[in-house]
Structure 1
Amino acid sequence: MTAEELQSLITDGLPCEHIEVTGDGRHWSAVIVSPAFEGLRLIARHKKVYDTLGARIKTDEVHALSMKTHTPTEWAKK
């Protein structure tokens, strides 16, 4: 899996205004900005992202994913 492939999987399942994905092929970091995160707590935001990855996260294709999830309003304040 490449960073571009992982990014594409996330954006195919979640509307993203901004996304950055980095990693080494198994361990990943992502900054994700999505209006879908509005009104959600951190754990619910992460679950939304994991849901977009489906079986890939369960089959170890994506071993670890560290995320920073923001709403567009939160991101604009950064």
Structure 2
Amino acid sequence: MRPEDVKALLEERVEGCTFVIEGEGCNFQVTAIGERFGDLSRLKRQQLINSALSDEIASGALHALSIKTFTPTQWAELNA
């Protein structure tokens, strides 16, 4: 898979988020930014992204997935 493939899948399956994808082959780092993370625990945030990619994980197309999630406010503070 390519980063743009992972991004397209996530954009299709998880509404209201912006994604930054890095990596290659079957190993990717996903950064997700969205208001929907504001009311979710860290675990629930991870589960949301994992479940969106569950078919690809199960098939082995994605093997290693690192996930970071932020609200827009958190993302802005991190990049200030």
TM-score (norm 2): 0.86
Task: Give the 3-state SS of the residue equivalent to 2:39 in structure 1.
Answer: coil
5+ residue gaps in structure 1? none
Give the aligned partner of residue 43 of structure 2: 43
- Read off the aligned partner of 1:73 and give its amino acid letter: T
- For residues 50 and 30 of structure 2, the distance between their equivalents in structure 1, rounded to whole angstroms, comes to 12
TM-score (norm 1): 0.88
What is the aligned-residue identity percentage? 29
Q: Structure 1, residues 28-54: CA drift from partner, whole Å, max 9, x if none?
A: 111110122111111110110111113
**Once the 2 structures are TM-superposed, how far is the Cα of residue 12 of structure 1 from its aligned partner?**
1.0
Question: Runs of 4+ in structure 1 displaced over 4 angstroms?
Answer: none
Equivalences, count: 77
CA RMSD of aligned residues (A): 1.2
**Once the 2 structures are TM-superposed, how far is the Cα of residue 63 of structure 1 from its aligned partner?**
0.3
